[in-house]
């Protein structure tokens, strides 16, 4: 079956915003076993919207159109699609009452143009919007005049704001899709998230041993991010669960502790979980990453139970005053050195009374490198009871990527250490 | 004229990666005065690529296809497009020599499949790739068999990795576009970036006074991000520069200090620039933002000259030990209070010897709120010589947005204070 996504919005065509809807919708559909065959973005203009929807109706079984359902003059989707399909619009009293209530609750007068959002094309299903004013719409195009075989297509219109679109898709669109176009065979998928190995190494380790299963239909894919490689397994058919279980056992055995999570797990959350389980605490002293590691750790809800605090010690004075790094160490080895990293970690651990301390010092660039210590040089120290370990990678990237990669290495060093204990 | 972008990649259709090419290319083209009329994403599959390119050739003057030029088995774009246009592929000795050199320099053996990247469709222009192995290609489709009017179209193929695509677009594609399809009239654009005002307030202030200019052809647009509103002005025609200058004067007069920069300027860079100009220093003490502010500040190259350091004091102990907050203040007012924020800022300023200190304490959520201090409550303190000012917004958002909005408010508080001095 063919599923197409059409994103409307002149701001997309001007490059003013990223099209996050594409990734989000494609991911939700893929994880439910449906493939998206095409995605199109077009400006908020009558001819473009009508032409694109007409073409999609000629090809696709299920079409999702985003944006253009609001009350302003550039919100054209509802009217144009109703026009294209020859359906008159009628006001829906229930939606109108909901809109009035929405504004009354917020003690705001209802703008006059709001009522257009209660206009419903004849025969359309209304998808409720608890997070905004514009309801979604679903229409069965039957018979479908734009399709050579006249086969029915479904057309769904969703509001643009993500906090309105996401729950509407999950609560209404996915159930509708599953009901109207049930999967022909059972479908299961699993993403195993790894770190510390390159994509080709991961492939070398698992592709051979998985061959009997992939030849029997298990789908195997890789997706590399900086410092991480996702292994994606998909199984279909009657034995899907059994095949998946067998595949997962093989991958877990071969990649072992390189796997830090499944599906959407993040390395920062994995580290916080390990610390929480062990009732151990962490502090971070950062120079070149400038707070990135602390920020990533505190993105995890509940981090405050194990993350005591962080210090961003850019200047030598801060390294001395806040962490107790010796002036002689800085003078003889330099701020970017194994000795300084070690003293930063040990100082942070002692001063904040934590079980573990990560310290990072390096040269993020674009300037500041020398022959002996080129841009990208980093020292990552991990101090735990009785032992301090120092990593010394060279991360030659632009500044934001440098921070990201270095943080990943630091968190992975801590994760491996925690797993060993 | 019609410009279309076609992004190939099964990873896009599975929602595994964000399509950043769309935003980047659309933005570059818009800033050069060209409108993109359609963008399409499709999987790496023969029929999808050929059908989409055929359709685009039927409509568009200039088509940019991204991805699928590499050496692996899912890189199909070059072959499929050559096939569609009936052009044989020939090996290019210069590219082959470059590829061999590329691997020799890196002391790596050249994989056997690399040579397919030296296959060039007959008549195609080669766009050099100094950052990778796959060159780009540009083809004039003349006459164009897919277009009713037979009009010439240009088809450009670019490699997928952004660090290869970006310079190739800027150095070769944009000049080619400008040469083959010069703008009919002069074009200038300007984005004025504002903070501290809502989108509707910005519109209320400037739309009326700009009316004589917009009626005479000045294009005016708004784009709202969290805490920021961009005002975008476009002028075309012979008087473009004069119209733009007149428009900019009006907007600058009416929005004054709310304007923190132009084009792609960021608030963090604006703050670092102001501090650098004044030779003044800054420290940051963060609780609920967990290092986000320090991280944003240190994203700016050269920040180390004015940003002395940051402290992430999640726990009460850290607030006492590192910042000198009084235990009685924490006991009687709580960690999230005006009094604590004030002592955090003043403590950080004194201990690190900075001219300015920002301190932030609040409840990021999703849990931890109370009736008196709901989730989203924040105190932002700015301590400067002789004076500490405290803001108390309520930022009810998800955790990452909470950090972003709170950081914006803190940086804006500092920026306004610096401008007043």
CB of A53 closer than 8 Å to CB of A18: no
Q: How far is B90 from chain A (nearest CA, A)?
A: 30
Nearest to B209 by CA among B234, B246, B236: B246
Q: Looking at residues A287-308, what average pLDDT do you find?
A: 93
Domains and CATH numbers, chain B: 3-180 (3.40.980.10), 187-262 (3.30.70.600), 277-420 (3.90.950.20)
Closest listed residue to residue B263, CA positions, set B232, B236, B240, B241: B232
> The tokens of B186 are what?
């002069």
pLDDT of residue B108: 79
Q: How far apart are CA A38 and CA B377, in angstroms?
A: 43
Find the DSSP H helices in B283-398: 292-298, 316-323, 327-333, 338-352
Give the span between the Cα atoms of A19 and B62, in whole angstroms.
22
Which of A38, A55, A307 faces B42 most closely, judged by CB atoms? Answer: A38
- Please state whether beta strands A282-286 and A356-362 pair in parallel, antiparallel, or not at all (unpaired): parallel
The DSSP line for B166-189 is HHHIIIIIHHHHHHHS--SS-EEE
- Name every residue whose Cβ is closer than 8 Å to that of residue A337 and which is 6 or more positions away in sequence: A329, A361, A379
Q: What is the arithmetic mean of pLDDT over B43-71?
A: 93
By CA distance, what is B292's nearest residue in A?
A: A295
pLDDT given for residue B365 in this prediction: 81
Cis upstream peptide for B11 (omega within 30°): no
- Alpha carbons within 13 angstroms on the beta-carbon side of residue B85 total 28
- Check residue A241 and give its pLDDT: 93
CB contact under 8 A, B38 and A48: yes
Predicted pLDDT of residue B163: 84
**Pick from A360-364, B74-78, B321-325, B409-413: least confident:** B74-78
Residue in chain B closest to A366 (alpha carbons) equals: B301
Helical residues (DSSP H) of A106-236, grouped into ranges = 162-168, 174-180, 199-215
Q: Chain B interface, mutation test: which of A30, A290, A313, A407, most B Cβ atoms within 10 Å? A: A290
Mean pLDDT score of chain A, rounded to an integer? 92
Nearest CB to A48; choose among B37, B304, B311: B37
Range from A56-60, A290-294, B176-180, B302-306 carrying the lowest mean pLDDT: B302-306
Residue of A nearest to B27 (CA): A15
pLDDT above 70 as % of chain A: 100
**Looking at the partner chain, which of B18, B232, B299 has a beta carbon nearest the beta carbon of A20?**
B18
* pLDDT at res. B86: 94
Helix (H) or strand (E) segment spanning residue A287: none
> What is the per-residue pLDDT for A362?
95
Span A148-168, mean pLDDT?
93
**pLDDT score of A221:** 86
Contacting residues for A119 by C-beta, under 8 A, at least 6 apart: A78, A79, A89, A90, A91, A92
- Give the ipTM: 0.82
CB contact under 8 A, B52 and A38: yes
Provide φ and ψ at B38, rounded to 5°: -160, 145
Task: Give residue A183's pLDDT.
Answer: 92
Q: Reduce the DSSP state of residue B22 to 3 states and report it.
A: helix
Distance CA A340, CA A317 (A): 13
Mutation to test the B interface, candidates A8, A19, A295, most B Cβ within 10 Å:
A295
Residues of A in contact with B35 (CB under 8 A): 13, 43
Whether a cis peptide bond, with omega within 30° of 0, leads into A366 is yes
Contacts of B400 in chain A (CB under 8 A): 299
Displacement of CA A337 from its chain's centroid (Å): 35
**How close are the terminal C-alpha atoms of chain B, in Å?**
51
The distance of B83 to chain A (nearest Cα, Å) reads: 22
List the single residue in B15, B24, B294 with the smallest CB-CB distance to A23. B15
Contacts of A38 in chain B (CB under 8 A): 40-42, 48, 52
Is it the case that residue A112 has pLDDT exceeding 80? no
Chain A contact set for B315 (CB, 8 A): 304, 308-309
Q: How confident is the model over A200-230, as pLDDT tens digits?
A: 788 889 999 999 999 999 999 888 777 888 9
Record: contact B13-A36, CB cut-off 8 A: yes
- pLDDT confidence of residue A277: 96
With contacts defined as CB-CB under 8 Å, which chain B residues touch A25? 15
Nearest CA in chain A to B163: A398
Distance of CA B70 to the CA centre of its chain: 26
> Which residues of chain A neighbour B290 with C-beta distances below 8 Å?
294-295, 297-299, 303, 307, 310
How open is the CA angle B158-B160-B161, to the nearest 5 degrees? 120
Q: Are B206 and B254 in contact (CB under 8 A)?
A: yes
φ/ψ (deg, to 5) at B185? -140, 155
From A47's Cα to the closest Cα of chain B, the distance in A is 11
Cβ(A351)–Cβ(A340) below 8 Å: no
CA dihedral A148, A150, A152, A153 (to 10 degrees): 30
Distance linking the first and last C-alpha atoms of chain A: 50
Q: Which residue bears the tokens 């990247």?
A: B117
Helix (H, G, I), strand (E, B) or coil at A269: helix
Tokens found for residue B153:
């179209």
Inform me whether the pLDDT recorded for B263 exceeds 90: no
Q: Which residues of B touch A366 (CB under 8 A)?
A: 301
For the ranges A23-32, A139-148, A216-225, A343-352, the lowest mean pLDDT is seen at: A216-225
Task: Dump pLDDT digits (tens) for A243-267.
Answer: 999 999 999 999 999 999 998 899 9
Report the predicted TM-score, pTM, of the whole model to 2 decimal places. 0.83
- The answer to whether the CB atoms of B17 and A36 lie below 8 A apart is no
Gap from A321 CA to chain B (nearest CA, Å) = 8
- Tell me which chain A residues have a C-beta less than 8 angstroms from the C-beta of B54: none
Ordered DSSP codes for B116-182: GGGEEETTPEEE--TTSSPPEEEEEESS-TTSTT---EEEEEE-SSHHHHHHHIIIIIHHHHHHHS-
Residues 6+ apart with CB under 8 A from A403: A288, A289, A290, A292, A364, B295, B299
Q: What is the pLDDT of residue B72?
A: 75
Please report the number of interchain residue pairs, chain A to chain B, with beta-carbon separation below 8 angstroms.
Answer: 235
Query: What is the rounded distance in angstroms from the CA atom of residue A61 to the CA atom of residue A103?
Result: 37
- CA–CA min distance A111, chain B (Å): 14
Please give the Cα distance from A332 to A327 (Å, whole number). 9
* pLDDT higher than threshold 80 for residue B124: yes
């Amino acid at each position: 079956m063919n599923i197409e996504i059409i994103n409307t919005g002149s701001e997309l065509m001007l490059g003013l915003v990223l099209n996050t809807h594409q990734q989000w919708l494609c991911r939700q559909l893929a994880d439910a076993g449906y493939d998206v065959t095409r995605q199109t973005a077009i400006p908020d203009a009558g001819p473009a919207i009508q032409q694109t929807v007409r073409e999609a109706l000629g090809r696709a079984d299920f079409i999702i159109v985003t944006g253009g359902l609001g009350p302003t003059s550039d919100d054209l989707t509802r009217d144009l699609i109703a026009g294209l399909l020859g359906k008159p619009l009628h006001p829906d009293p229930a939606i109108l009452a909901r809109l009035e209530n929405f504004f009354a609750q917020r003690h705001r007068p209802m703008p006059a143009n709001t009522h257009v959002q209660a206009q419903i094309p004849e025969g359309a299903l209304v998808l409720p919007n608890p997070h905004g004013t514009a309801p979604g719409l679903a229409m069965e195009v039957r018979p479908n005049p734009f399709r050579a075989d006249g086969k029915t297509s479904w057309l769904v219109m969703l509001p643009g704001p993500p906090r309105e679109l996401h729950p509407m898709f999950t609560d209404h669109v996915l159930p509708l899709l599953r009901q109207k176009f049930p999967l022909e065979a059972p479908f299961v998928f699993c993403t195993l998230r790894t770190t510390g190995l390159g994509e080709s190494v991961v492939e070398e380790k698992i592709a051979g041993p998985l061959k009997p299963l992939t030849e029997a239909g298990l789908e195997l894919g890789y997706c590399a991010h900086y410092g991480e490689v996702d292994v994606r397994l998909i199984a279909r058919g009657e034995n899907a669960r059994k095949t998946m279980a067998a595949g997962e056992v093989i991958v877990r055995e071969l990649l072992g502790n390189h796997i830090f999570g499944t599906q959407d797990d993040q390395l920062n959350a994995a580290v916080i979980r390990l610390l929480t389980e062990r009732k151990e605490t962490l502090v971070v002293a950062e120079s070149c990453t400038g707070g990135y590691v602390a920020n990533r750790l505190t993105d995890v809800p509940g981090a405050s139970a194990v993350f005591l605090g962080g210090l961003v010690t850019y200047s030598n004075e801060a390294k001395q005053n806040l962490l107790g790094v010796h002036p002689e160490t800085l003078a003889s080895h330099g701020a970017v050195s194994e000795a300084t990293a070690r003293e930063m970690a040990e100082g942070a651990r002692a001063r904040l009374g934590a079980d573990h301390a990560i310290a990072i010092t390096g040269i993020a660039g674009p300037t500041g490198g020398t022959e002996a210590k080129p841009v990208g040089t980093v020292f990552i120290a991990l101090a735990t009871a009785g032992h301090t370990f120092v990593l010394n990678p060279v991360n030659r990237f632009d500044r934001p990527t440098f921070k990201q990669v270095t943080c990943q290495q630091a968190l992975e060093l801590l994760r491996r250490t925690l797993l060993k204990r």
